[in-house]
Structure formats: C-alpha cells, structure tokens
Amino acid sequence: MMTKPPLDKGNPIFGHSIKFNNDALSLIQDLQVKYGDVFEISILNERVTMFMSPSATKHIYLDPEDNFSSKHGWEFSLGKAFENGLMLRDFDDHKFHRGLLQDSFRRDALVNYLHIIQPILDEWIENLKSKKSFNLYETMKGLMFKISIELFFDEIDNSRLKELERLFTDSIKSATSVVRTPLPFTKLKKGLKARQELLTYFQKKAETVDIDKKTLFSELVKTNKHETGLSNYEIAEHMIFLLLAAHDTTTSTLTSAIHHLSTNKNFYEQLKDESNGISFTDIADLKNGLKAESLFSEAMRKYPPVPFSVRYVMRDTEVENYKLDGGTYVAIGPLVLHNDERYWDRPDTYNPERFLDTDEINDSYFPFSGGAHTCLGKFFASYLFKNVIYKLVTNFDNISSSEPLSINPAPIPYPRKDVKISIS
Ligand code: HEM
C-alpha cells in the first residue's frame, strides 16, 4: 500500500533551515528517531522528502526512469551561480556534456595534471619547512585554490590571483545563502556578479589558451575544435562549476585526514613506509597506496564533502511505497548513512583501518554519489589527496596537534574553528 511520508514542519517561519545549517546530522538523526528513515521537512521554504535508507539512496541516484532532476535539485540549493555546470544538467543534455568533459579526465590527462601540480606542492612543503606550525583548514584551502588556479585558469598573472580568489569565493558563498532572490547587498547578488566576471574571464582565456600546456582548461578547450563541441561560453560555464566541484571537496577531506594523522603517530609512520619508493606521478603506484586510500575513504565516510544530494521530482512517482508528488523535492544523505550505527561499527570513531580490515563493500557508502552524475573527478581527487599526504609524511618526522577538530558537516564540511598543526 502506498503511503505519504510523515511531515515535520519545524519552525513556523524558518522551517528546518537554520538547524540544518548549524547541525544537519543531529537534526536528521533526531527526526529519524521520531519518524524512521523517510519523512518530509521544510528547508528554504520548500518541502523536501528525506530518504535515509541505503536502498532508496541507490534507487534515487540510479534513477532508472528519469524521474529525478539533478539540475532543478541543485539549482534549489546552489542557486544560479553555477548554472549549466554538469550537475545542473539532466538526462540527454547531461549525457552529451558529460561525454565531452569525460575526455579531460582520461588517464594520460590525469598524469599531466599530476606533473603540473608537483612544483606547487614542492613550494608548499618548502614554505612549511620555514614554520613551526600552520593553520590547518586555511592552509589546505589555500593550497587547493592554488592547484585549481594552475590547472583551471591556465597561466595567470599573479596580480589577478587575489581578485580571482575573491570572485570565486563570492560565487561559492552565494550557494549557501539563505536569501534566494538576488536583492541588493545579498550574497546571492554578489555571487551572480562574480559569476559574470568569471564567465568573461574564461571566455577570453579560451580564445588564447596554450593547448600544449595540458591543463584541465586546455583539455576542455580542445573539445570545441569539433563541430559538435562546446562553445567558449559553455566551456566558461563548465569551468566555474568544476572549480566548485574540485576545491572545497578536496580541502575538507585533507583537513580531517591531516588532523587524524596529527594525533596518530603509528598511522603516520605506516604512511611513511608506504610512500617509500613511490613515484607521485605514477597512477599505478598511487593506486597501490592502500593505507593512504583508507585514510581518504574514512575522511569521506565521516564527513562526506557532498553530505546531501537534492533531486527535483519530475512527475508523480513512488519510492519504496512512498508516494511522491511531481514538483516537490527529495534529498538523500550520505552524511546520515555514513554515520549510522546500523551500517558501521562505531561510526563516531575516525578509523581509516575499517577500510583495510575488510574485503566487503559496504552498500551504505556513497561518497561520490552514483548513477549518471557519479563524480567525474573521483580518481583525480584520490591521486591529489595521496600526493599531499605523501609529501607531508616524507618531509616531516612528526606532526601533532593538541586542539580537537570540530567539523560542521553541512551544507559543506568545514571546521567550526581552525586548528593549529605543529610540524618538525
Ligand atoms: C574528495 C573529493 C570529491 C568528492 C567527495 C566528490 C563528490 C562528488 C559527488 C557526490 C558528486 C555528485 C553529486 C550528486 O550526484 O548529487 C560529484 C559530482 C562531480 N564532481 Fe566531484 N567530488 C570530489 C572531487 C572532485 C574533483 C577534484 C573534481 C574535478 C577535478 C570533481 C568533479 C566533479 C564533477 C564534474 C561532477 C559532476 C558530475 C555530473 O554531474 O555528471 N569532483 N562529486
């Protein structure tokens, strides 16, 4: 028998929006105790049905009948600043664009990217060597931004670096703004203005980019050489979205992983051993780095960089006997599944070894989503993560921190307060 999900309206004015921003995990876990795994809540003035079971999550990601729109779902949470990025396209149109972008993520292109980022990583390490400690999140964010700049913006004149960082930060901030109309002085208005400037920047660059440089940008520009390829405007739109997709995701995994290492000397030493003799630009070598992989997996389990995915319901349909009306939203929550003790042994404990001890695939694990929109950068993200970790353990005998790390896991994970890491 089909049934309607139970509705919890929350605060009469704000619904659940504020609590969701402050502590999404405990909000949803409390509602699960009350209603079970499926319930409807109100966020940003829209009613959203939450499906918090592994099977419904898989069904919605795979979406065999094209019932769920990623475009309208993400538009709802990201606003207009990332319009026409890959996650903001659907079905045949998405398939076409994904096909064109996919080429920029082929194996030999990734090797080129790894070569391009080596000098930036080496400069970062040299800089750390002159210090006794560093602010973890701030440093990771800076490093990931520098890497994105090099790979995404191609050659840029240093005097524009700060300006580009500001434009990009404004675009991201607009995505988490509670005000959803671009009124004067709002984050959204600022974000949309920043988008315009970035679009102009990328379009101009696309005309003059040096194809031989083998950056992600030049790879993408190559696709417009075909008759059915991308226009410079479309390339600019994809670049803006790629910056978002690549930047905060890798920053947050590195932040929690490095903090874990700063409190676990034994694992740090094991990673040092693993990194021995590895070439950091060789994909086969990087793939063999199982301990670093387990650290990456655990970072994404505890604090998935995309903690929730939202989809718009295109037409009346049902999921696991729950009736859904067309024109409403559904959300699935890797953050909630990854921290559910029904599926994980002591989920509160940050323990990379849980991924080493077992050959079984846990079907409650969705760090890169699934189906048509599965993360396009997932392999590159893992190689980049391992590069940073290996560079760190091979260059420093010891890293430590006496400060606990408290992460607010949604809408994107970030530390409530940055922590200091001491190095020697
Ligand atoms: C730890 C790092 C990362 C994580 C956990 C991650 C996670 C995700 C997830 C969950 C999605 C899909 C969301 C949904 O279906 O609703 C996604 C999409 C995407 N990601 Fe990543 N991502 C990471 C890094 C990267 C990097 C480094 C790049 C590019 C260099 C990238 C490029 C993309 C793209 C292009 C999409 C859109 C795919 C599509 O819609 O077809 N990601 N990512």
pTM metric for this prediction: 0.96
Q: How many angstroms separate the alpha carbon of residue 374 from the centre of ligand 1?
A: 7
Q: Buried b / exposed e across 258-282, counting CB within 10 Å, b at 16+? A: bbbbbbbeebbebbbebbeebebbe
Could you say which DSSP state residue 159 is in? G
Per the listing, tokens 């921190």 go with 401
Establish whether residue 249 lines the binding site of ligand 1, counting it when its CB lies within 6 angstroms of any ligand atom: yes
For the Cβ of 330 lying below 6 angstroms from any atom of ligand 1, the answer is no
Q: Evaluate whether 141 touches 424 at the Cβ level (below 8 Å).
A: no
| Residue ID of nearest Cα to ligand 1 atom 42 | 377
Q: Could you tell me if 395 and 120 are in contact, meaning their C-beta atoms sit under 8 angstroms apart?
A: no
Q: Is the CB of 375 under 6 A from ligand 1?
A: yes
Tokens standing for residue 35: 């209603």
Q: What is the pLDDT along the chain (424 residues), one digit of tens a residue?
A: 789 999 998 988 888 988 888 899 999 999 999 999 999 998 878 889 999 999 999 999 999 999 999 999 999 878 788 999 999 999 999 999 999 999 999 999 999 999 999 999 999 999 999 999 999 999 999 999 889 888 887 766 677 778 888 888 888 877 766 666 766 778 888 889 999 999 999 999 888 888 888 899 999 888 776 667 899 999 999 999 998 899 999 999 999 999 999 999 999 999 999 999 999 999 999 999 999 999 999 999 999 999 999 999 999 999 999 999 999 999 999 999 999 999 999 999 999 999 997 777 899 999 999 999 999 999 999 999 999 999 999 999 999 999 999 999 998 899 999 999 999 9
Handedness of CA 315, 316, 318, 323 (dihedral sign): positive
User: Taking a C-beta distance cutoff of 8 angstroms, is the pair 390, 125 a contact?
Assistant: no
Domain 7-423 part of CATH 1.10.3720.10: no
> Is 308 touching ligand 1 by the criterion CB < 6 Å?
no
Candidate of 365, 375, 386 to mutate for ligand 1, largest count of ligand atoms within 8 Å of Cβ: 375
Ligand 1 center to 386 CA (angstroms): 17
State how far the Cα of 297 lies from the Cα of 139, in Å rounded to an integer.
21
317-319/399-400 β-pairing:
unpaired
Residues 6 or more apart whose CB falls under 8 angstroms from that of 323 comprise 2, 3, 4, 316
